[in-house]
Chain A
Amino acid sequence: MELLLLLTPFLEASLRTATPLAFAALGELVSERAGVINLGLEGCIIAGCFGALLAAGIGGPAIGFAVGVLSGMAIAAVFAIFVLVLRTDQIIAGTAMTLLALGLTGTLYKVLYGASGAALGTPTVGPWAVPGLSAIPVIGPALFRQSVLTYLLYAAVPTLAWWMHRTGAGLALRAVGERRAAAEAAGIDVPRVRWGAILFAGAFGGLSGATLVLAQVGTFNEGMSAGRGFIAIAIVVLGRWSVVGTAMAALVFGAAFALQYLFQALDVQLPYQLFIAFPYVLTLVLLAVVRGRTAAPLELGLRDGTR
């Protein structure tokens, strides 16, 4: 009985936790479908966190989101210069970008907010219950008493899936990641597509960070992205490089984390490390059990110019 009462908060927490993960993973998905693995995603997220905090304090949440997105794109742009112009290794460049962004945001935070930090003074966007829909028992509040970002995600998933499969640009993106030479032969400007994809990933990474700050935590702290960029990359693999799959995989992760929180709150007398490891063990089990084609884009991770 008690457990049933926990269902709604559990589902609610699942979606809430999944939202920033899904944004980041969808961004990474687009980048990977163009053949670029972006380990700088973590950096884009933390940049988004910081940009959002800074701008929201000045101009309110809407400006905060915009600047968060732009901050993620700025980090992504530097990454793109290394990967596409200098044609360096994607993995090293991405790792360095993450380091750079963590350092930059930490430094600026310190400079602008001092050692005492920004506290919880940032305006946030709280949950907004969709009239009517949120009244549906159990799932209503879970699905429709969320922040506006989650609703944006509801829209982004089908839009992105549609774009990827029903537009020429989406087709071009996929072709670039699968077989660069074929795309070139069809007259597609491969570097341009990759630029676009990397910037998109940066934007969504930034959005993910902005969501963390403005729709969830309400403040910033060094390293608050806490490895979400890497988890997002795992989510893309778990989602088998499809838009809907990635969204579902993000939800699975969200649910696993929510379940972890709930387990601990249930006062079960087990080592807490067991709960903390739970989402990752679950992922391994799912990967083994849910069989299917593993379909990494064929050009993924290849250095530009090495063909």
Chain B
Amino acid sequence: MDALAALWDGAFGSAFAIWSATLVRATPLLLLGLAVALAFRAGLLNIGAEGQLLMGAVGASAAALSLGTAPRAIVVLAMLAAGATGGALWSGIAAWLKRRFGVLEVISTIMLNFIAAALVSWLVRGPLQEPTRIYPQSSTFSASAHWPFLIPGQRLHLGFAIGVVLALVLWWWFERTAGGFRVRAVGAGARAAASAGGVDVASTVMRVFLVSGAIAGIAGAAEVGGVTWALYEGLSPGYGYTAIAVALLARLDPRWIIATSIFFGALEAGAAAMQRDAQVPAVVVQIVVALVVLGVLAVTALRDKQMAQRLAVDAE
């Protein structure tokens, strides 16, 4: 009971918990969840958000370090662009392998995740290492590369706002634009999209792959620009994998991803509080998190069954 109280307090119990823990942790999950949802909507199994995040972080860090003390707006925009580019380059490798050699993206993206981790590990000991060359990390970025906070005194940063806006834009794009509709059609029925709609499926999928990688890259940029202010190895505790659950739990609906990413962010923030305040060991916290996810899953499954029955009523 103490533990569950700590879980709640750590997630929502104070302004700090909400604005500086839960939502900060939700930010990468939100952006990555969108990246995953976009790809999955097009029928593309991009499991590589993790690696794309890392490469986005690399791109944004390189931009931040090389621009130094240029005006903040310029640096932040450059970091966004470089992050998106880094992520897109990384997903582009998988896209190219798919198109040129027919390599399934499910496996190539997993491999690229491992490779990205090794690459970051090398970069922070090589080209991007801090000048004393002692620690495996980059220098801390200058203040102009620190992304603005959204609320005075709290840690919530620009990345979250970008995520929310992107979620709404993506939702609008899916629902209201021809391009978004094309992507949905390709994912839901590629053959019909090609045959009935004259959609160029292959190039639609390629473009989605790049954009998905770019969004994941922005997540990496947001993490280094908004939270760590330097490039480290071990930047992500597996956000890219959690994001798959985030996106699926939201049924790939961008609006719902805002909610599910906050849910997972709250779980992580609350889980930390359980360790700190209730002295629940980390491993037990994992159990609690798993049980909460399974509980939500079971509840939605049961609700689905009822929905199915109600649909049958409508069908009459």
Query: Do A and B truly interact?
Result: yes
Interface membership of B202, Cβ < 8 A: no
Picked from A88, A234, A289, the residue with its CB within 8 Å of the CB of B107 is A234
A82 engages B293 (CB within 8 Å): no
User: Which of B7-15, B115-123, B191-199, B206-214 binds A?
Assistant: B115-123
Interface membership of A102, Cβ < 8 A: yes
Complex formed: what's the CA distance from A283 to B304 in Å?
A: 40
Chain B residue, CB-CB nearest to A283: B111
Interface membership of B297, Cβ < 8 A: yes
Complex formed: what's the CA distance from A258 to B97 in Å?
A: 26
Interface membership of A93, Cβ < 8 A: yes
**8 A Cβ contacts from A240-283 to B:** 271, 273-274, 276-277, 280-281, 283
B103 engages A102 (CB within 8 Å): no
Picked from B111, B125, B282, B293, the residue with its CB within 8 Å of the CB of A96 is B293
A237 engages B104 (CB within 8 Å): yes
Residues on A with beta carbons closer than 8 Å to the beta carbon of B282: 106
Interface membership of B172, Cβ < 8 A: no
Chain B residue, CB-CB nearest to A223: B283
A287 engages B101 (CB within 8 Å): yes
Picked from B100, B104, B122, the residue with its CB within 8 Å of the CB of A296 is B104
Complex formed: what's the CA distance from A86 to B284 in Å?
A: 25
Residues on B with beta carbons closer than 8 Å to the beta carbon of A230: 110
Interface membership of A110, Cβ < 8 A: yes
Picked from A100, A273, A284, the residue with its CB within 8 Å of the CB of B286 is A100
A103 engages B290 (CB within 8 Å): yes
Residues on A with beta carbons closer than 8 Å to the beta carbon of B288: 103
Complex formed: what's the CA distance from A237 to B102 in Å?
A: 13
**8 A Cβ contacts from B295-316 to A:** 297-298, 300-302, 304-305, 308
Residues on A with beta carbons closer than 8 Å to the beta carbon of B103: 284, 287-288
Residues on A with beta carbons closer than 8 Å to the beta carbon of B104: 237, 287, 294, 296
B297 engages A92 (CB within 8 Å): yes
User: Which of B80-88, B182-190, B243-251 binds A?
Assistant: B243-251
Interface membership of B135, Cβ < 8 A: no
Interface membership of A104, Cβ < 8 A: yes
B283 engages A110 (CB within 8 Å): yes
Complex formed: what's the CA distance from A291 to B104 in Å?
A: 12
Interface membership of B126, Cβ < 8 A: yes
B122 engages A99 (CB within 8 Å): no
The secondary structure that dominates the B interface is helix
Chain B residue, CB-CB nearest to A81: B298
The secondary structure that dominates the A interface is helix
Interface membership of A176, Cβ < 8 A: no
As a 0/1 sequence over residues 54 to 75 of chain A, the CB contacts with chain B under 8 angstroms (1 = contact) are 0000000000000000000000
Task: Given A110-B281, A284-B111, verify A100-B287 contact (CB < 8 Å).
Answer: yes
Chain A residue, CB-CB nearest to B283: A106
Task: Given A88-B301, A273-B118, A296-B104, verify A99-B293 contact (CB < 8 Å).
Answer: yes
Residues on B with beta carbons closer than 8 Å to the beta carbon of A284: 97, 103, 108, 111-112, 115
Complex formed: what's the CA distance from A109 to B281 in Å?
A: 12
Q: How far is the CB of B65 from chain A (nearest CB, A)?
A: 20
B283 engages A89 (CB within 8 Å): no
Residues on A with beta carbons closer than 8 Å to the beta carbon of B308: 305
Complex formed: what's the CA distance from A89 to B284 in Å?
A: 24
Complex formed: what's the CA distance from A82 to B119 in Å?
A: 37
**8 A Cβ contacts from A126-142 to B:** none
Complex formed: what's the CA distance from A107 to B100 in Å?
A: 47
Residues on B with beta carbons closer than 8 Å to the beta carbon of A87: 301, 304-305
| Chain B residues within CB distance 8 Å of chain A | 97, 100-104, 106-108, 110-112, 114-115, 118-119, 121-122, 125-126, 241-242, 244-245, 248-249, 281-291, 293-294, 297-298, 300-302, 304-305, 308
Given A82-B301, A274-B118, A288-B100, 20 additional A-B pairs, CB 8 A: A86-B301, A87-B301, A87-B304, A91-B244, A92-B293, A93-B294, A95-B242, A99-B289, A103-B284, A103-B287, A233-B110, A234-B110, A238-B107, A273-B121, A274-B122, A276-B121, A280-B112, A280-B114, A284-B108, A287-B97
| Chain A residues within CB distance 8 Å of chain B | 82, 86-89, 91-93, 95-97, 99-100, 102-107, 109-110, 222, 230, 233-234, 237-238, 271, 273-274, 276-277, 280-281, 283-284, 287-289, 291, 294, 296, 305
